[in-house]
């Protein structure tokens, strides 16, 4: 029997978080962290709300997941995020020792791959899950933002 809790399922949950960010006027990036098919953290960008450049969805999710688990290492967890992590978030993922990262859209300007940031050697990466949907939300956000200016 197929497990209904696959990467697509959890990326859809991350997209819900991204839509929440969009509705708040935040750059629409959403993240969830999963451990044993259970979402233990949900987050979205809060950089504008908190006036904090480090308040990325991933950073918020790492803090929440670590608090939930009672420890700083996320070795048995998976991060689902709608946009490729930036250098800062990839670095934080290194320190959490997260087991797997699944992301939607590539960030060709500021993504960890472009910046050549190293992930933890044991972290597995899956790219492009629901990339079209994730990318469309980002495009919509920036088109609307440009039209307001």
DSSP character for 111? B
Query: What percent of the chain is predicted at pLDDT more than 70?
Result: 98
Active site residues: 58
128 in helix, strand or coil? coil
Residue 1 has pLDDT above 70, yes or no: no
Note if the pTM is more than 0.85: yes
pLDDT digits (tens, 9 = 90+) for 33-91: 999 999 999 999 999 999 999 999 999 999 999 999 999 999 999 999 999 999 999 99
Q: Cα angle vertex 91, ends 26, 21, to 5°?
A: 10
Q: What is the mean pLDDT of the chain?
A: 95
């Amino acid at each position: 029997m197929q497990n209904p809790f696959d990467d697509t399922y959890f990326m859809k949950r991350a997209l819900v978080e991204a839509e929440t960010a969009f509705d708040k006027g935040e750059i629409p990036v959403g993240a969830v962290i999963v451990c044993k098919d259970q979402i233990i953290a949900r987050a979205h960008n809060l950089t504008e709300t908190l006036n904090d450049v480090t308040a990325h969805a991933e950073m918020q999710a790492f803090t929440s997941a670590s608090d939930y688990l009672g420890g700083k290492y996320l070795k048995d967890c998976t991060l689902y995020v709608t946009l490729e992590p930036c250098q800062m978030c990839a670095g934080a993922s290194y320190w959490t020792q997260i087991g797997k990262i699944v992301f939607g859209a590539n960030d060709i300007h500021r993504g960890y791959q472009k910046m050549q940031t190293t992930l933890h050697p044991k972290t597995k990466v899956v790219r492009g899950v629901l990339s079209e949907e994730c990318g469309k939300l980002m495009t919509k956000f920036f088109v609307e933002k440009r039209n307001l200016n």
